[in-house]
Amino acid sequence: MTKNFSQYAKIIERFRGQVKQSDFEATFLDATKNIAKTERFLLKMEIKRLAQPCTRLIDLRGHVDGECKAFEDEERTHYLDDLAIRVYKDNVSAYGGYTFGVYEAVNNTENNFRVIYQREKAGSLPTAAPSGTPKVQEKLYYPAKFVPFGDFYNRQEERMNFAIAVGVTLANGEQIEATSSDLSISGVKLRFAAMQKISVGDVIKLEFTGLTQEFQFGSQSIFEYQVENISIENQVQLIGASRILDKEKDGFKQFLKGFIQGNKRRYKVNLDNTIAALKSRSLEQFALPKINELPVFVAAREGKFVPRYALTCNNNQAVYQYWQNEAKQSTLYNLIDSDRVERMLRAEKTGHSLLVYSFVHQSQGRSYFYTADEKQLAQDESFARHFLGFAASKSTFAVTMLSIVAVDKAKANAPLTLANTLTKKDAYLDMPISEEVQSILSGLSYIVVATDVTTKQIRSDYQQFNYDDIVTSKLKAFGHKRLVNVPAMDEIGVNYRNQRQEPRFVYKTPVEVEAEGVMWTGTSQDFSVSGLKVHLDKSAVLTKGEIVKIAFPNLQKITSTFELKSLPYEVMRINKKKNVLNLRVHVERHQHIGRAFFKVLIEKNKAKLTKEEYADMTPGLAKALRTIYAKSTSVPSFFVQSSGSRYKVETLAIGNNEKPFLMSMKGLSDRPKHLNLYPLLHHPEAANLVNLTLKKLQQADAPAEETLFISIKRNVDAIDQAVTTKLASELSSTKLKKMFIDKARKNGEFYCVQIKLSRTVEPDMEHLNPELSYIGSYAIHRGKQLEQEIWSVAGVMQCFDITQEVINRHKLLN
C-alpha cells in the first residue's frame, strides 16, 4: 500500500498478531469507531496485510549503523545487526511467525541509514552532534570471507549426519563416552565433551551403544577404528577415524551400507565437502577467464628453462601479444630465460617479485626486443636512469612484474566430490588425467606470472630521466638476438565451456547430408576424429538424435583407400534456423570409415591444418594447467555480487593467501577467517568503481582500473584513524607521493595496489550442475541458495600489489 498509516501507528501496534483471533472484528471496530468508514476499512486491510506470511530475505549489510551477521530462522538466512535481531524476535513472537509486519519492522529500525536520513530531512534530528562529528559513524568493517581455489576433496563414501551415543575405549584402555557427528560405511567422526589424550594413528575401540539398543549385531558389537585426524571447533574436540577390517565378509559393514542408504534422506548426507567444492569451482570459473596477469608454464630443456605454455583470455591477450614478433611468433623467451628464472627464484625467497623494463624497436619491418630487470640495472645505477629514460620515451615501453612458483603436478586434479554417485551422462566431467597429459606435466618446472603494471603515471615518472649521454654499447647489451629457430610456445585459452575430448580443426569442404531419401548440400566448418560441424545451404527438417548419412565428394577424389559415402552420423545439435548441424560418428557394427579417415588425415597434416580457436591439441591439458594455476595463484580475486539494486563484495578467492597486504586486511578484521576490505572500499572513488562503473561495463570491455596508495599505522586500534587511502591521482606530484610513502613507512605499513574490475560472463551451469544437483537432492533450500549466489556474481576485481615497483621508482626519482 502506498497510503501513509503513520498516524495510526498505535492502533497497528495494538493489533499485531490479533487478526486470527475470534474477537478481532469486534475489538477493532470498537477501537476505530471514531475513524471514517473508508479510513477504517483501509486500516483493517493494512493490519491484515502485515499479518500475511512473508518469504523475503532481509539483508541489512550496508544499510544500518551496526555490524550484520548471518541469522537463520525457519531455514531462511537473513543478515541482521543486533538491534534488528531483537526487533525480529519480538515481532515474530507477536505475529506468531515471519510476516510482512516483521519484515517491515526490521527494515525500519532506528539505526537504519534511510530512517536516519528521513528524520534529519524532516528536522527531527540534528545533522551533526555538538562535537561536530556526524551522527552516523563511518562504516569501519567491510567483511569478506576467504575461499581457497581448488578446494576439491572427494570422499569415497557418502557420510550421513547422525548423532548417537558411542562408547570409546582409548589406546591406553580408558573408557569414555562420545557422540557421533557423521557416519559412513568405513568411517566415523566423534565429538568429545572434554579434551582427550588422543593422537593420529591411535587404534581405538568403538561400541555404537545408540544403535545396539535397537539393532542386533550378533557376537561382535565392538569394532576397531584408527584415528585419522583431530580438530577443535568451538572448543569441541572432533576425531575422524576409519574402520580397521580384519575379514572380507563383515556383517557390520553390510548393516551400515543398508542403514545409510535407507536413512540418508532422513538424517541428511554430510555435504560440507561438496558445498565447499562447488563454491570454489564456481568462483574459479568466474575469475580465471578474467585474469589480467599472464601465467607462463616453463619447461626445462637441455639444462635451460624455456617458456612452453601460456594461459590466455581476453584481459591478458595484450600482454601475450606484446611478446610477439612481426610474424606473430611468441618471443616470451626474451622475457623469461634461465638466468632470469634464477633471479626470480632468489627474489621469491625474500617475498619479492622481479621487475622487468622493456621496449620493442621496429626496424625494416622487424621487431627487436630490449629488456633489463631491476637486478641487472642495480649493477650500474647511473646507466639504469639512462636506460629507463630512453625506454620510457618509446611508445612500446612496459614494466612487467614477474613472480614464480613451482609446478605441483598433484594440483592438476579437480575431482567432483560426489562420493562415486556420478551418472554416465556427467562422467566425462570427471575423467582422470590422461597419460599424455601427465607426461607433459612432468616436463614442466615453474609457472612464471607476468603482470603488466604500466600506467600513464609510471611512464611519465620514468620519462623524467635524462638519456642524452646514454652509452649505446651498454644499451645494445640488453638487446635480444633474433632466433632462426624460435622455441615452440603454445597458447592455451581459458575456456570452461569447451568440454571437447578431441582436438578440432577448421576445414571447409563440400558435404552431402542424406536422411530418409532427402538430400541437403552444405560445407563443413570444422572436424575432429569423431565429430563434424556442417553449414547447410538450405534449412533441413532434422532433429537431435536423428541418424543421417554423410558423403564427402571432394575428399573422395583424393583417396581410394576409404569410401567416404553413406557414413552414418548422429545429429547432436541443430540451430534454430535448422542450417547448422553438429554431428558425431554413429558406430553400428564395425569400425566407422569416417573416423579412420580423419584420424589418418590429421596425423599426416598436423602442421598444415588450422587448429580451431581455443581448441586443445592435447585433450585435458588446458583443464590441468588452469587447475594447477588456480591452486597456485597469489593474485586475489574479489567477487562483486548483486544484492537488489546495489552491489556487495563479501568473498575473495586465491590459491596462496599468505601475502602481506592480505594479512594486513585480515588483521583489521573482527571476525575469524575474514578480511576487512576497509582499505580498498571505504574510499568513495573506489566504492564508485564497484557501485557505478560496473553497471556500465560490458562482458567484452577492458577492465576498469584504479591505483590506491594505502597507509596502515601500527598500534592504532581505531580503524578509521589507522588506515588512510588515497587515489594515485589525488597525489598529483612526485613530491606528494614521496611524502605519503615516507610517512606511511615511518608510522607503519605502506602498500600501493592496482585494482582491475571486469564484468563476468554467465556461469556454465553444465560444469556445475552435477554437484549442485547432488546438494539439492538432500538439501533443497541450500541448493537453491547456492544457485542464487552463483547467478548473483556480476563482476570480479583483481588486486595487484605493486608496492615494490612504486618504492623502487621513487628511490630512483630522488
Rounded-to-integer distance, Cα 585 and Cα 591, Å: 10
432 Rama class: left (phi>0) / alpha (psi -120 to 50) / beta: beta
| Contact present, 383 and 357 (Cβ < 8 Å) | no
Look at the block and give the residue holding cell 572427494: 154
Better pLDDT: 798 or 212: 798
pLDDT at residue 122 tops 70: no
pLDDT in tens, 623-664: 899 999 999 999 999 999 987 778 899 999 998 777 899 999
- Beta-carbon contacts of residue 311 (< 8 Å; ≥ 6 apart): 288, 291, 294, 295, 297, 492, 493, 494, 625, 626, 629
β partners of residue 231: 238
The whole-chain average pLDDT of the chain stands at 86
Rounded-to-integer distance, Cα 192 and Cα 591, Å: 62
pLDDT in tens, 86-95: 899 988 888 8
pLDDT in tens, 765-793: 888 888 888 888 888 888 898 999 999 99
Alpha helices in 350-471 (DSSP H): 374-377, 381-392, 435-442, 456-462
Q: Taking CA 460 as the corner, what is the angle to CA 456 and CA 466, rounded to the nearest 5 degrees?
A: 155
pLDDT at 429: 64
pLDDT in tens, 562-613: 889 889 999 988 887 889 998 988 876 557 888 888 888 888 887 777 766 5
Which candidate, 481, 482, 477, places its Cα nearest to that of 387?
Answer: 477
Rounded-to-integer distance, Cα 34 and Cα 187, Å: 71
Rounded-to-integer distance, Cα 139 and Cα 111, Å: 13
**Reported confidence tier of residue 422, pLDDT bands at 50, 70, 90:** low
Rounded-to-integer distance, Cα 686 and Cα 680, Å: 7
Q: Give the number of other CB atoms < 10 A from CB of residue 93.
A: 12
pLDDT in tens, 261-315: 887 777 677 788 888 889 999 999 999 999 999 999 999 988 899 999 999 999 9
H or E, element range at 178: strand 175-183
Rounded-to-integer distance, Cα 4 and Cα 768, Å: 47
The model carries a pTM of 0.69
Q: Give the number of other CB atoms < 10 A from CB of residue 748.
A: 17
pLDDT at residue 137 tops 60: no
- Beta-carbon contacts of residue 260 (< 8 Å; ≥ 6 apart): 158, 160, 183, 184, 185
β partners of residue 311: 492
Rounded-to-integer distance, Cα 131 and Cα 128, Å: 8
Instruction: Quote the percentage of the chain above a pLDDT of 70.
Output: 92
pLDDT at 164: 87
Rounded-to-integer distance, Cα 402 and Cα 388, Å: 18
β partners of residue 512: 521, 551
pLDDT at residue 406 tops 90: yes
Which candidate, 540, 339, 353, places its Cα nearest to that of 453?
Answer: 353
**Reported confidence tier of residue 245, pLDDT bands at 50, 70, 90:** confident
H or E, element range at 211: helix 209-212
Rounded-to-integer distance, Cα 465 and Cα 603, Å: 55
Rounded-to-integer distance, Cα 751 and Cα 807, Å: 9
**Reported confidence tier of residue 796, pLDDT bands at 50, 70, 90:** very high
Burial, 717: exposed, middle or buried (Cβ in 10 Å; 0-12, 13-18, 19+)? exposed
Percent of the chain as helix, strand, coil, to the nearest 5: 35, 30, 35
pLDDT at 124: 47
C-alpha to C-alpha distances, 287 to 69, 630, 681, 735, 762, nearest whole angstrom: 26, 9, 20, 37, 12
Which candidate, 623, 655, 147, 754, places its Cα nearest to that of 405?
Answer: 655
| Contact present, 706 and 755 (Cβ < 8 Å) | yes
Listed as own residue / partner, the contacts of 7-10 with beta carbons closer than 8 Å and 24 or more positions apart are 8/35, 8/43
C-alpha to C-alpha distances, 430 to 277, 767, 773, nearest whole angstrom: 13, 10, 15
pLDDT at 121: 64
pLDDT in tens, 712-749: 999 888 898 999 999 998 998 888 999 999 999 999 99
Domains, the chain = 6-122 (no CATH), 160-268 (2.40.10.220), 292-493 (no CATH), 505-615 (2.40.10.220), 635-813 (no CATH)
**Reported confidence tier of residue 163, pLDDT bands at 50, 70, 90:** confident
pLDDT at 529: 84
Which candidate, 322, 482, 316, places its Cα nearest to that of 395?
Answer: 322
Q: What are phi and psi of 293, to 5 degrees?
A: -85, 160
Which candidate, 419, 500, 414, places its Cα nearest to that of 768?
Answer: 414
**Amino acid sitting at position 329:** Q
pLDDT in tens, 658-692: 789 999 999 999 888 899 999 999 888 888 888 88
**Reported confidence tier of residue 1, pLDDT bands at 50, 70, 90:** very low
Q: What are phi and psi of 177, to 5 degrees?
A: -105, 145
**Reported confidence tier of residue 496, pLDDT bands at 50, 70, 90:** confident
Which candidate, 289, 287, 297, places its Cα nearest to that of 313?
Answer: 289
Rounded to the nearest angstrom, the gap between the alpha carbon of residue 176 and the centroid of all alpha carbons in its chain is: 44
